[in-house]
Copies of this chain bind each other. A is one copy, B any other.
């Protein structure tokens, strides 16, 4: 279990990497990785933070790629549907996926200080959830796990 998001890393490299992965995934699955979709993913990767749809839209607007809400929401729907991004329900915001391709039930840790969102694999959580569910015959299709708290960095260096 490693959490990208609270650690220093070669950001430039990680963007390029993720974009290449996304590219490959779309090619494999005959998905159309159009300019807007590509750009929205880049924006999310660049910030490495959860962004609201309207924040993204603002960036797109500056770049002349569309200024109406559906532009952002459609791109986000595509990215989320295809596992390239996730929606953080708690924040009504979106993040690029840190574990592209893996079939994951992601869990998120949201630092309320610095707003960083880290994605952690949560397979074990899913199994426990499934166990609880099976007792009542409930079939789990999707699970969301979002924890709010304070990251190590912000605990050490309070504002």
Seen from chain A, the residues whose Cβ lies within 8 Å of a Cβ on chain B are: 1-3, 6-7, 89-90, 107, 109, 111-112, 118, 120, 122, 124-125, 128-129, 132-133, 135-152, 155
Contact = CB atoms under 8 A, between A and B. Distances in A.
Nearest to A122: B132
A159 to B, nearest CB: 15
A135 B107 CA distance: 14
State the number of copies, please: 2
B89 A136 contact: no
A155 B139 contact: yes
Nearest first, the 5 closest Cβ-Cβ pairs linking A and B are A137-B152, A89-B89, A140-B149, A141-B149, A143-B147
Contact of A145 (B6, B125, B139): B125
A1 B89 contact: no
Contacts of A118: 136, 138
A4 B17 CA distance: 46
Given A89-B89, A90-B89, A128-B128, A112 B136 contact: no
B144 A149 contact: no
